[in-house]
Amino acid sequence: MPDQTAIVVAESPEDVAFVGELFRDYAAWLGFSLCFQNFDRELATLPGKYSLPNGRLPARRRYPEKPLRLSKWYGALARG
């Protein structure tokens, strides 16, 4: 049976922590500081503005069960 992929909302503490790691990796890859947009505070308060009901922290899950892989979605994740 081929793998199936589903987009889910990262809500568990483990999922949210993993998203934080991905955000940190992304910031490091950029090669400049994101301090001008309070990036450290955003990470410290995840899911923060990305939490339900107004925001989303999307994650890609693969089935059959495999280690969680979260997609980095930047842009208008949080509405409002």
User: What digits encode the pLDDT tens for the residues 7-42?
Assistant: 778 888 888 887 888 888 889 888 899 999 999 999
Phi-psi region of 75 (alpha: psi -120 to 50; beta: other; left: phi over 0): left
In terms of Cβ atoms closer than 10 Å to its own Cβ (0-12, 13-18, 19+), residue 66 is: exposed
Q: What is the mean pLDDT of the chain?
A: 75
Per-domain residue ranges for the chain? 4-63
Residue 60 has pLDDT above 80, yes or no: no
